[in-house]
Structure 1
């Protein structure tokens, strides 16, 4: 894209969503302390065997690249770390026409240099569920639901005057798609690198390939650290 003198932005809408950005800010300001564990799930029950999600030529895979990606990208974005190892399993039930070509579900564990682990699951054959929880030494934060277009909820817990306190954060609903489009418009107008450039999507794809390799071989797969940051500058909040 640099040679073509064009802008490329991956539409990772969650990275522009206010609650997700609040969680990322809490992590950067060390409000949770040292990160210990990230847990996430994104599932839905897909009913029509003929739809594109279940055709490998159209979808590239099953639950992992479509909705499991949300868990993967959230683990990387919110922690601001890159995983160094992954172990994974996938399941494709026999006799279910929906999963003749792609996996029904995936479970993977990412290990990060700091000691943080991310345990994630995604399924095309379980009741709708979209959540994450990030646990730190001094507090936790969770969103449930987390990955939808609207209706998101954010809670966090930490010690206040020596006592455990839980707070639910209320934010006026905002259009995630408008926010990411506004950011891309600013990048084109002002010749800026988008916050989620092509490198961010490429890194997720490398990890997805490693997830499938681990599931195929039954072994943990080492992940190389990127040569350069995969994200551009933070979005200018005042433009949102």
Structure 2
């Protein structure tokens, strides 16, 4: 039987409870071996449920002790965005590889520090993007790469999730670093970059928050943005906390194709429109896969075989530059070119 890579899950919120810990049961190369939380009671409860020793439960304060635990190979950071940098650096110093939820940081400078910390410790840093591993999205990418329906000219992409709990950390600038763009728009940015294989050269954006809505005292409710690519593709995107809706469509001169829903954890669906002359295109049969299993097993395999990661820290850094440009455009009400963006933005 092959060796499994041990994961310490740092942060025991809804994603960890409902998706990550259950997903380990289907992983071939990854297994949970430790939990880290500031809620000791919850951590001990989950440790008992998943047959983990109490000695493998850590708090934020004694987290650095994890370096003495040889069973832990990877720290999976599932915390509010602003905490990603510090715990990535602490994990690297403890000799652990890092899998970090997106966005990887709240600014460019922090993202670079995370990359440097892992490089200096000779540890891998992977950002937990799912699109690159998910089979439906890989079909779409293959279609675009091979001009199956013609050359893509325009992409539209929307990601919305209605959240009415004003106490959530996502609505606090000091924890999230931003609003709908950081939490939801990141999917649009990273997905389009992956599908096209290209980087945006300019962005244009506008954002809005409902006056008097206490959820949006600190962060934006809705953001609309365009990205222009060197090959002429223009992407029109939106992210919002106002409604539940998510999809993307890729338009050629003869048809459109895409995903609806696009970013859910399961039940994804490919769509293809009729051609201009009314012909239908057959839809591919694509197996639904547990996306978190794919992500965690990918990292585990890369560690076991010393392979390159599909989404290393450098991939997350590229998104940070785009995010910075979008916020700058929305604030200055003008087109921003990516080559204008520095750490100081």
Question: 2:300 matched to 1:174?
Answer: no
Quote the residue 1:74 is aligned against. Answer: 191
Picking from 109, 112, 115, the partner of 2:232 is: 115
Quote the residue 1:201 is aligned against. Answer: 316
| TM-score normalized with structure 2 length | 0.62
Quote the residue 1:233 is aligned against. Answer: none
Picking from 132, 137, 142, the partner of 2:258 is: 142
Alpha-carbon offset, residue 114 of structure 1: 1.0
The whole-number CA distance in structure 1 between the counterparts of 2:178 and 2:286 is 35
Quote the residue 1:58 is aligned against. Answer: 175
Alpha-carbon offset, residue 33 of structure 1: 2.3
The whole-number CA distance in structure 2 between the counterparts of 1:118 and 1:16 is 22
The whole-number CA distance in structure 2 between the counterparts of 1:181 and 1:138 is 38
Alpha-carbon offset, residue 87 of structure 1: 0.3
What is the RMSD computed on CA atoms of the aligned residues? 1.8
Cα gap change, 1:69 to 1:42, in 2 (>3 Å): same
The whole-number CA distance in structure 1 between the counterparts of 2:285 and 2:151 is 25
The whole-number CA distance in structure 2 between the counterparts of 1:139 and 1:184 is 36
Quote the residue 1:183 is aligned against. Answer: 298
Question: 2:137 matched to 1:38?
Answer: no
1:84 partner SS: strand
The whole-number CA distance in structure 1 between the counterparts of 2:133 and 2:208 is 32
1:194 partner SS: coil
Checking the alignment, whether the CA contact within 8 Å between 1:154 and 1:170 is kept in structure 2 is no
Question: 2:272 matched to 1:156?
Answer: yes
Checking the alignment, whether the CA contact within 8 Å between 2:135 and 2:287 is kept in structure 1 is no
| TM-score normalized with structure 1 length | 0.88
Quote the residue 2:336 is aligned against. Answer: 221
Bigger strand fraction: 1
The whole-number CA distance in structure 1 between the counterparts of 2:267 and 2:308 is 30
Alpha-carbon offset, residue 153 of structure 1: 0.6
Bigger helix fraction: 2
1:164 partner SS: coil
The whole-number CA distance in structure 2 between the counterparts of 1:67 and 1:98 is 16
Structure 1 moving runs of 4+ over 4 Å: 157-160
2:239 partner SS: strand
The whole-number CA distance in structure 2 between the counterparts of 1:158 and 1:45 is 31
Checking the alignment, whether the CA contact within 8 Å between 1:31 and 1:139 is kept in structure 2 is no
Instruction: State the number of aligned residues.
Output: 223
Alpha-carbon offset, residue 150 of structure 1: 0.6
2:193 partner SS: helix
Q: Deviations over 1:108-128 (max 9, x none)?
A: 0001111100000011112x1
